[in-house]
Structure formats: structure tokens, C-alpha cells
Amino acid sequence: MAHVELDGVDLAFGRRSVFEGLSCRFPPSRISVIMGASGMGKSTILRMVGGLQPPDRGSVKVAGEELVGLGEVALGRVRQRLGMLFQNGALLDSMTVLENVALPLRERSRLDEATIVDRVHQRLADVGLHDVDDLLPGELSGGMLRRAAFARAIVMAPEILLCDEPFSGLDPPNVSRIEELLLHLNRQLGLTLIVTSHHMATSLRMADQLFLLRDGGCIDGRPETLAASHDSAIAEFIGEDGAEFLARHVARAASGEPS
């Protein structure tokens, strides 16, 4: 069964039609990566799954529950299953890292202060941050900031994590660290990840399932299946570099070497 499922979704903004009959199913405890050129609707899919943007037509289900037509209270309940890392999702500048990460717990739970601090420390450790409680966001590097934003996104212990362009604006070492972090959250905590990205090599390497947006809908499959496809649009999208990368990656995985 899909953990998140869109079926027959149409959506237009004014005269600009973004989706026509979009259907996609995101499997549980897997990493799904949505790729597509800028303006194709990657962020909009995450906003629909988060119940922030209703489709004009069609169905959006999270853990079997239909979001379309739900009232705010019921939507709030569904949102508890979801963590969201927004594109360039910044921390609040005037609050310390501890206060930023604790914010969802303080606003949406009745846990006592000691339990909250304990939970925040666990989540910071999950993302590889230590001794940062009293630092202000301005005192963190770009990579640390992104990891702190992840800690905040998972502090309510969601089942599903929506990540909009988690690699954007990071240098290569930090891209690798965030890739490792996403794998860790998926493999160790069992989170279902739905990630949008432009980053071809990283996406091909970490995706269990890839979704390529085009013509108002999407094509999906395992990365190696898509790379082997004879469809010219898919080949063009993945490109020679991507196909070569995947071929090497698949060969290495088959021989048990790390890539």
C-alpha cells in the first residue's frame, strides 16, 4: 500500500495549468525523489501532500486518509504524521537552536520542559549536531543550519518527511552530509521520505523510486529502470552524465563495493 497517494489530480493557477491527471504513489519507508525543471510543480506536490494546497480535482491521500474536503481540525490531525522541510526553510534568527527545534513541541504538545529538552537533544543527535543549544542561527554554517532545520522537521516524530530541495545552496561536502542524513533518517528511523531535487547524481544514488515531472503528469520507476528506458524524453531528462553515473553505480552495487 502507498503511504502517500495522488490520483487524477488537476491543478491550475489562473490560466496556467500545472497538473492534468497527475497520479503518483509514494511507498512506505522508502526514499522517493521528485525531479523536474523549475516551475514544473515539485514544491506544489509537497504542498498538496501537506494539505496546504488543495487540488482543483482528484484525490490526495496520506496513510489512507483523503485530504480533499477535510476541515482544518481533521487536517491538523493528518499533518501530525508529516514533517516538512521547506525550501530554504530558515530557523528564526532571534531564537537559539534549542528554542527553534523545541518550538513545535512547545506549541503543539503538553510535554514538560525536561522532556522537551531531552527530545530536542535526541533529534539534534539524529542529525549529527552536538553542543549547539545556545547558538543563534547566525552562528551556524550553512550545512549545520540545514541539519538544524531537519531536527526541527522531525521533532514531532513524523512518519513521513517532505523535503523541498534539501541540497539547494550547499557545497559538495555538505550535499554529501545531507544525503547521508536522509539515508540515516530513512534506514534507522524508518521515515518515508518524499524529496524534491535538482541534484541528479545524488537523487539517482539515494532514490528507491524516482518521479520525473512532465506534461502535467509524471513518470516513475526505480532509477535503474528509468535509466534503461528507451523513451527519448526520459533519456533526455536523465542525460548522458546521469545514465553513465547510474550504470557505474549499479555495477558497483552489484559487486558489493561502495560508490
Decide: is 39 part of the binding site for ligand ADP (CB under 6 A). Answer: yes
Contact 91, 135 (CB under 8 A): no
Distances in Å between the Cα of 186 and the Cα atoms of 9, 146, 207 are 27, 17, 11
Choose which of 3, 32, 44, 207 interacts with ligand ADP (CB under 6 A). Answer: 44
Q: Which stretch binds ligand ADP (CB under 6 A): 37-45, 72-80, 91-99, 166-174?
A: 37-45
Q: Is 34 helix (H, G, I), strand (E, B) or coil?
A: strand
- 42 vs 79 by CB, closer to Mg ion: 42
Lay out the sheet containing 57-62: strands in order across: 16-26, 4-13, 57-62, 65-66
- 84 vs 144 by CB, closer to ligand ADP: 84
Choose which of 3, 42, 147, 199 interacts with ligand ADP (CB under 6 A). Answer: 42
Decide: is 43 part of the binding site for ligand ADP (CB under 6 A). Answer: yes
β strands within the chain, DSSP E? 4-13, 16-26, 31-35, 57-62, 65-66, 82-85, 160-164, 192-196, 209-214, 217-221
CA atoms of 111 and 127, how far apart (whole Å): 22
Residue 68 DSSP code: T
- 43 vs 209 by CB, closer to Mg ion: 43
Cα 9–chain centre separation: 20
Decide: is 40 part of the binding site for ligand ADP (CB under 6 A). Answer: yes
Decide: is 21 part of the binding site for ligand ADP (CB under 6 A). Answer: no
- 37 vs 247 by CB, closer to ligand ADP: 37
End-to-end alpha carbon distance in the chain: 31
- Tell me which of ligand ADP, Mg ion, none is bound by residue 16, counting a contact when its beta carbon lies within the kind-specific cut-off of 5 to 8 angstroms: ligand ADP
Per-residue interface string for the shown chain with Mg ion, residues 17-46, x marking contact by CB under 5 A: -------------------------xx---
Decide: is 197 part of the binding site for Mg ion (CB under 5 A). Answer: no
Strands 217-221 vs 209-214: parallel, antiparallel or unpaired: antiparallel
Q: Which residues bind ligand ADP (CB under 6 A)?
A: 13, 16, 18, 36, 38-44
Q: Which residues bind Mg ion (CB under 5 A)?
A: 42-43
